A and B are shown apart, each in its own frame.
Chain A
């Protein structure tokens, strides 16, 4: 089955610790994205990558870092510099160009920092 996976579904961390959220897709998509969603809010773009070994900052990149060493994988690290990290994190992927360039979303990771 093709799809996009995120793990874990729930994650708890102490304040001051870095944490890495995984995102893997086997859809052969070129582009991958990380969003953050807070209660009652829309999705805000953290980082995105259109090709391997390249990525761009989204609207709220401060306190986050990413890597794109493989086409299938786009892990997100939430660093201790992120002032308010508790949120629902969604990873998505899509073909870079073309008419059917909808984004497919993973199931999300709910991060709680204590």
Chain B
């Protein structure tokens, strides 16, 4: 079966750093996405990792370890607007579908 796990909720302080973890067990692997979703809105793309390692994009970085079935999203210099849900999603090899985790709701405190 397909399984993607990430914490349900996290809280962090404005200006700080937070790491959101995602572990996956899927039938084949063809890439991992991170999306941001504000309440009542559509998800927006943050990052896509295919190879192991860290990819940095401004305040956001995403890390992948395929051997461990593990990824994390690192958010630096947190701002109030970063309060949102963060969705981890895996593109599986078979059928080329994208399977989403349940998302992590991040609360930013002033």
Instruction: List the interface of chain A (C-beta within 8 A of B).
Output: 33, 35, 40-45, 48, 50, 56, 58, 88, 90, 96, 99-108, 110
Q: Please give me the residue from chain B that is nearest to A105 by CB atom.
A: B42
Contact (Cβ within 8 A) A90 B42: yes
Structural contact, A103 and B45, CB atoms closer than 8 A: yes
Q: Which residues of B contact A40 (CB under 8 A)?
A: 8, 102
Q: How far is the CB of A21 from chain B (nearest CB, A)?
A: 14
Show the binding face of B for A, using Cβ within 8 Å.
4, 8, 31, 33, 40-45, 48, 50, 87, 89, 91, 95-103
Residues of B within 8 A of A44 (CB): 100
Cα of A100 to Cα of B49 in the assembled complex, Å: 10
Could you show 5 A-B contacts with beta carbons less than 8 Å apart?
Answer: A33-B98, A42-B100, A102-B45, A105-B44, A108-B42
Asked, given contacts A48-B97, A58-B97, whether A42 binds B103 with beta carbons under 8 Å apart, the answer is: yes
Kindly list chain A residues whose C-beta atoms are within 8 Å of the C-beta of B89.
Answer: 43
In the complex, the answer to whether A108 meets B41 with C-beta atoms within 8 Å is yes
- Nearest chain-A residue to B102 (Cβ)? A42
Contacting residue for B41 out of A43, A96, A100, A107, CB 8 A: A107
Query: CB-nearest residue of chain B relative to A104?
Result: B45
Q: A42-B103, A43-B87 are in contact. Are A103 and B98 (CB under 8 A)?
A: yes
